[in-house]
Amino acid sequence: MVVGIIDVLSALLIISAIVLVVVIVTAVVRMTITRPTRPTDEQTTPLGDAETSERAARHAVVEAHGTELIERRVDLDTRRGTLGGDTSLDDAFTRLQERLERRDITEEQFERAKIHLFGG
């Protein structure tokens, strides 16, 4: 009786091992099939000298335009300030922060007032 149970358990263990091997092999095959392939060196086309120089020229134009925009913004901010010369908004926000620090208002009231102040 005990020998029969051991034989059945051994058979179940062998079947489980076989099933596990089949599942692992299936997973590996599926991953291999569905993996995206990388192009080989023969499939890729290097940029020609003309395309490289065109790309470099476009990059230089974009870089120059970006630098110009930054310089204009810095110049504008130095002339009239970051808030366009309107210091009342900054003063109102400072007063609002002071009220929060003194605990005159709650964090929730501060957030609502800040949204209202900045036009949200």
Q: Which two tokens stand for residue 9?
A: 């358990």
Q: How many domains, the chain? A: 1
Cα–Cα distance for residue pair 22/91, rounded to 1 Å: 72
Cα 70–74–80 angle (5° rounding)? Answer: 140
pLDDT tens, position by position, 57-80: 999 999 999 999 989 888 877 777
At 10 the pLDDT is: 86
27 falls within a domain: no
Is the predicted pLDDT of residue 118 greater than 90, yes or no?
Answer: no
SS in 3 state form for 6-48? HHHHHHHHHHHHHHHHHHHHHHHHHHHHHCCCCCCCCCCCCCC
Cα–Cα distance for residue pair 41/59, rounded to 1 Å: 26
120 falls within a domain: yes
108 falls within a domain: yes
117 falls within a domain: yes
**Residue, of 67 and 37, whose pLDDT is higher:** 67
pLDDT tens, position by position, 78-105: 777 666 666 788 889 899 999 999 999 9
The predicted model scores a pTM of 0.33
CB 53 within 8 A of CB 45: no
CB 109 within 8 A of CB 97: no
| End-to-end CA separation in angstroms for the chain | 82
Give the structural domain span for 117. 84-120
5 falls within a domain: no
